[in-house]
A and B are shown apart, each in its own frame.
Chain A
Amino acid sequence: MTYEELLYDLILKDERYFVLTSENRAAIRNLPAKIQKNFLDTGITEQTQIGIAAGLALRGRIPITHALATFLTMRAFEFIRTDVGIANLPVKIVGAVPGFLSDGNGPTHQAIEDVSLMRGIPNMNVFCPADDDDMLRCLPKVFASSSPFYIRYNNTKPLVEHSDFEIGKAETFGDGTDIAILVYGFLFGEAFKAKKLLEEQGKSVRLINVRTPKPIDEEAVLKAVRECKQIVTLEDHFITGGLYSIVSELLLKNRVTANVLPIALKTWFKPALLNDVLEFEGFTAKKIYKAISSKL
């Protein structure tokens, strides 16, 4: 099943689902012809798309909006915050090519503050799937939620088969106690490979696919902090406002501390083909493994 097949199935079962885009059809190329009565392309108008989605939600629809993550979360930020957030409407905001996935586009297209911006909106939740399998497995529950949701679209090829999903529950691989790697979104794959490299060196590792940075799985994070010597937060996002911040807030709230190594971006990343970006910025499995090893 693909993303657009999932949307098509949902609409066949429930006509409240309504797909919108601001002329970004990469993920839904074949959909418009099949669901004309549940589809609207507003042109290159992110603000209007979100306003229209709010209007559709007032009419009982569940709008699923699409555009590049940068333009949707930033150009339309105030519309998301004011029209969707204040009214707490069940609008789903699907941002394409978030984080490193914008590869060669350059800083204009780098959504690396999107999680920070979206989680700052009361009522808004954030879902960052690890890969295509994770995304398709979790989306039905995310779409069915009565809350607004920001979704970091990620259809990259899965390395593993994921487990079932509950909103606010992380997915944990292994129960290692030397290192816990907390990650969301696309970098899950590199983290998965880094876990293997660390294990080859005799380290015991647990990998936590956060899935929903908001609501964060407090229990999984606190358990990792209790049981593991070294915590790593890994994200293709600015270091402010993302997972490192979320974990910091959580630890302070619970009056605990931990050895936390943040692997995140301090500024915009070098635009290039994806694998070269990872290499240049130090986010390949091998470089993640090295960064963690140097802390042990």
Chain B
Amino acid sequence: MTKEKLIELQETALRVREHIIKMSGNGGCFIGASLSCADLILYLYKEFLNVSPQNLKDPNRDYFFLSKGHDVPALYGTYVELGWLEESRLKNHLKTNDTIYWHPNRNIPGVEFHSGSLGHNLSVACGVAYDCKLKNQTNKIVVVVGDGELNEGSMWEALLVASAYKLDNLLIVVDRNQFQANMQTEDLIPLHPLDKKFEAFGCAASIVNGHNFTELENALASFPFKKEKVSVLIAETVRGKGLPSIERRADRWFANFKDEEVAQLLKELHGEHKATLTSEIIIAR
């Protein structure tokens, strides 16, 4: 990756994070989970996938599914940076005059499918991938899933089917931020060793730093990781990435910050002093 490209991605990712932080007031959002996958979503749309609101009718375009729907601020923040969504609409978050709420929906151009209930979009993506295979198309189908989401049996059920039908046009990206709701994954239902689990289900798995664009580029350059196998990219990420005051915190999955906290967090994002967070901690589970 060229230095210019890297800097551009890093600067854009910073702006995506600004959008996420701005959505964490006035009702709040799943800020921790959104910040962990912001780099992934941005990289996939900007560098890996051929999809935009302009080519949705083209059957040869790529497909992107956000299965862990609660990190929709990262998705919409990315759409703003790609020019697909007007920034002013983010101010309509949780307002009845728009359709921007805590989970994605297809009224927002670019959203392939709604999500929110965990464990759904992998099988939907399998349907798309299977149809593309039948039509001898070479497009890519990507699903971003959460690590907590892997508790759902439907994920492993869909994996069995995807492997049986050799869906090597399918890429699963795991946002491995080590948390589910307000618990660490390994403290509740341990997932380790995750790559071995996917491999046992017939997939080809690879582990990268999910915040390192060069690593993402190198790993995705070899997609599909193995012929006739579903590719799984386990992206090791940090919940709350970019905001040291909420990073890796079980209690900052969902937050509803006051205006002054939002202002402080925006400064913190840019390396200024740490925010003083006084708003109530929300335990959502």
A residues neighboring B (CB under 8 Å): 37, 40, 42-43, 45, 47-48, 50-59, 61, 63, 78-79, 82-83, 86-87
Cα separation A79 to B161 with both chains bound (whole Å): 16
Which residues between 121 and 171 of chain B lie within 8 Å of chain A, taking CB atoms?
Answer: 121-132, 134, 154, 157-158, 160-161, 164-165
**Complex: A52 Cα to B159 Cα, angstroms:** 12
**A55 and B160 contacting across the interface, CB-CB below 8 Å:** no
Name the B residues within 8 Å of A52 (CB-CB). Answer: 123-124, 126-127, 130, 158, 161
B161-195 contacts to A (CB < 8 Å): 161, 164-165
B128-A59 in contact (CB<8A): yes
Contact of B154 with A87 in the complex, beta carbons under 8 Å: no
**In the complex where A47-B154, A82-B120 touch, is A55 in contact with B131 (Cβ < 8 A)?**
yes
Dominant secondary structure of chain A at its interface with chain B: helix
Q: Are A82 and B117 in contact (CB under 8 A)?
A: yes
Do B131 and A61 touch across chains, with their CB atoms under 8 A apart? yes
Which single residue of chain A is at the shortest CB-CB distance from B119?
A47
With a cutoff of 8 Å between Cβ atoms, the chain A residues found around residue B123 in the complex are 47-48, 50-52, 54-55, 79
Closest to A42 in B: B161
B126 contacts A83, CB within 8 Å?
A: no
Q: Report Cα–Cα, A53/B154, bound state, in Å.
A: 15
Cross-chain contact of A54 among B59, B127, B164, B165 (Cβ < 8 A): B127
- Is B120 within 8 A of A48, CB to CB? no
Nearest-CB residue, chain B, relative to A36: B134
Q: Once the chains bind, are B161 and A58 in contact (CB under 8 Å)?
A: no
Q: Which of B122, B123, B129, B157 has the most CB of A within 10 A?
A: B123
Interface residues, chain B, with chain A CB atoms under 8 Å away: 59, 106, 112-114, 117, 120-132, 134, 154, 157-158, 160-161, 164-165
In the bound complex, what is the Cα–Cα distance between A61 and B158 (angstroms)? Answer: 20
- Distance in angstroms from A201 CB to nearest chain B CB is 54
Complex CA gap A179/B17 in Å reads 69
Distance in Å from the Cβ of B224 to the closest Cβ of chain A? 19
- The one of A47, A50, A59 that contacts B131, using a Cβ cutoff of 8 Å: A59
The binding surface of chain B is classed by DSSP as: helix
Q: Is there an interface contact between B130 and A40, defined as CB atoms closer than 8 Å?
A: yes
In the complex, number of A-B residue pairs with CB atoms less than 8 Å apart: 83
- If A43-B161, A55-B131, A82-B120 touch, whether A48 touches B114 (CB-CB below 8 Å) is no
Q: Which residues of B contact A40 (CB under 8 A)?
A: 130, 165
**Contact partners of A55 in chain B: CB under 8 A:** 123-131
A sample of 5 inter-chain contacts (CB < 8 A) reads: A43-B164, A48-B154, A48-B157, A52-B127, A83-B124
Determine whether the beta carbon of B106 is less than 8 Å from that of A87: yes
A51 pairs with B130, CB closer than 8 A = no
A51-B154, A55-B127, A58-B113 known, 13 other contacts, Cβ within 8 Å: A43-B161, A51-B121, A51-B123, A51-B158, A54-B113, A55-B123, A55-B130, A56-B127, A59-B132, A82-B114, A83-B113, A83-B120, A86-B114
B127 with A45: CB separation less than 8 A: no
Are A87 and B114 in contact (CB-based, < 8 A)?
Answer: yes
Residues of A within 8 A of B112 (CB): 58
User: Chain B nearest CB: distance from A40 CB in Å?
Assistant: 6
> Are the CB atoms of B124 and A54 closer together than 8 Å?
yes
Assess whether A37 is in contact with B128, with CB atoms less than 8 Å apart: no
- Closest chain A CB from B121 CB (angstroms): 8
Contact A37 B134 (CB under 8 A): yes
Within 8 Å CB of A82, what residues of B? 114, 117, 120
Contacts of B121 in A (CB 8 A): 51
Minimum CB–CB distance for A82 against chain B, Å:
5
Question: Which of A51, A55, A61, A78 has the most chain B CB atoms inside 10 A of its CB?
Answer: A55
One of A45, A57, A86 near B160 (C-beta < 8 A): A45
Is B114 within 8 A of A43, CB to CB? no
- Given the interface contacts A55-B123, A83-B120, A86-B114, does A48 sit within 8 Å of B161 by beta carbon? yes
